[in-house]
Amino acid sequence: MSRFVCILLGLILFSVSCGCVSGKADTSPVSVTAETTGARFRIGDVIELNIHVDAPDGTLIKFPGDDLDLKPFIIRERRLSTPERRDRNVHENLILSLSVFEIGEFEIPGIEVSWELSNGETGTASTEPQFIRIESVLTPDDKEPRQLKPIISVPARSRFIIAMIVGSLIVIAAVSLAIILTRKWKRKNLTDIIPVPETLRPADEVALESLANLRESQYLIHGDVKTFFVVLTGILKTYIGHRFAFNAPEHTTGEIRFDLKTIGMEPGVQTDILHLLDLADMVKFAKYLPPDDHCRSAIQKAEQIIIRTRSTINVPQAQAVEQKEGIAS
């Protein structure tokens, strides 16, 4: 009987000691948690990860620095909140704006935060991993891609340099414009009539021929979808630039969107052009691979855009006639 009592007491003491050890392991004076703004996002969306720290007043909290690596996530911006003190505790938040340009299930790993109490005690704590799903900007019911959300972040120290570059470009453009106008004025005062070549082809004719050649190319057969869309958008931008007199080949999709509104193009045509350029941007920058029939329908859509917007007269020939009349007068 005494032996049984000894064994029972030994088990009780062992349980108590284990409980004390586990209680110490689980108890931490600093609490670190993390949460995202959602669980499902699309390519290009901004994912905000909020890291919240709750610690005793007087605690020195050290968040990860700029070298934090969360690949394949891109850290667009980091914002550190002002510490708040209430109930003898201090509360701090680090908000990370993230983006990812791949599709699938992803894990944002735990992020370690260091701390030091006012009594000199130090330690670290990590957030729980966050699991999210990234989906394509296309849904099964969509026939056209949705726009990627623009993400613009310019450091304050770079604004002065950018302003200087823009100012220099404006001066260069003004000087170039003055040279061009001077040359035109001199040309009008020539006594000899300079013949204007009559062999210039209309921009729509050249563009449609180039699209026909693209249709017969081997890009899609060899799986080179990116080059296919680079050539397609090059043809379309060149035509738009000639037809509406602006430097479309050197403009981004966002700049062309502004240009089309400025020239007052028909809204339906604007939508078709921007949808086609957005699809090409997804292929070139987001590694989106549309089916072959979508690629070939893109050629057909480009042809329809050209047919709907081409001039009813031969534009180069009309310009030649006007130049001759100006010289003769």
pLDDT over threshold 60, residue 198? no
Instruction: With respect to residue 14, please indicate whether it lies within any of the assigned structural domains.
Output: no
Instruction: With respect to residue 61, please indicate whether it lies within any of the assigned structural domains.
Output: yes
Write down the pLDDT at residue 273: 93
Instruction: With respect to residue 269, please indicate whether it lies within any of the assigned structural domains.
Output: yes
22 vs 292, residue with greater confidence: 292
% of residues, the chain, pLDDT over 70: 75
Give the orientation angle of helix 203-215 with respect to helix 225-244, to 10 degrees. 170
% of residues, the chain, pLDDT over 90: 20
Please name the residues in contact with 123: beta carbons below 8 A apart, sequence gap of 6 or more: 28, 30, 114, 115
Write down the pLDDT at residue 233: 94
Cis status of the peptide bond prior to 72, with omega within 30 of 0: yes
Task: Check whether residue 119 and residue 224 sit in a common domain.
Answer: no
Which of 74-88, 103-117, 149-163, 300-314 has the weakest average pLDDT?
Answer: 149-163
196 in Cβ contact with 320 (< 8 Å): yes
Task: Check whether residue 119 and residue 218 sit in a common domain.
Answer: no
Burial class (CB in 10 A: 0-12, 13-18, 19+), 237: buried
Which long-range contacts link 213-220 to residues 24+ away (Cβ below 8 Å)? 214/299, 215/296, 215/299, 220/292, 220/295, 220/296
pLDDT over threshold 50, residue 121? yes
Write down the pLDDT at residue 304: 93
pLDDT tens-digit series, residues 56-72: 888 888 888 888 888 88
Instruction: With respect to residue 263, please indicate whether it lies within any of the assigned structural domains.
Output: yes
38 in Cβ contact with 134 (< 8 Å): no
Q: How confident is the model at residue 4 (pLDDT cuts 50, 70, 90)?
A: low
275 vs 314, residue with greater confidence: 275
Write down the pLDDT at residue 314: 47
Which of 73-82, 148-157, 274-283 has the weakest average pLDDT?
Answer: 148-157
pLDDT over threshold 50, residue 208? yes
Q: Which of 92, 110, 135 is the last residue of a domain?
A: 135
Task: Check whether residue 88 and residue 207 sit in a common domain.
Answer: no
pLDDT over threshold 60, residue 239? yes
Write down the pLDDT at residue 211: 94
- Bridge partners (DSSP) of residue 126 are 112
Q: Which of 120, 135, 150 is the last residue of a domain?
A: 135
pTM over 0.85: no
pLDDT over threshold 90, residue 7? no
- Which structural domain, as residue segments, surrounds residue 217? 199-328
Please report, in angstroms and rounded to a whole number, the separation of the first and last CA atoms in the chain: 131
pLDDT over threshold 50, residue 21? no
Q: How confident is the model at residue 210 (pLDDT cuts 50, 70, 90)?
A: very high
3-state secondary structure 249-262: HHCCHHHHHHHHHH
Count of domains in the chain?
2
Instruction: With respect to residue 296, please indicate whether it lies within any of the assigned structural domains.
Output: yes
Instruction: With respect to residue 35, please indicate whether it lies within any of the assigned structural domains.
Output: yes
Q: Which of 135, 166, 185 is the last residue of a domain?
A: 135
Q: Given its phi and psi angles, is residue 43 left (phi above 0), alpha (psi -120 to 50 degrees) or beta?
A: beta
Kindly report the CATH number assigned to the domain that includes residue 130.
2.60.40.10
- Span 244-269, average pLDDT: 88
Q: Which amino acid is at 285?
A: F
Q: How confident is the model at residue 103 (pLDDT cuts 50, 70, 90)?
A: confident
Instruction: With respect to residue 113, please indicate whether it lies within any of the assigned structural domains.
Output: yes
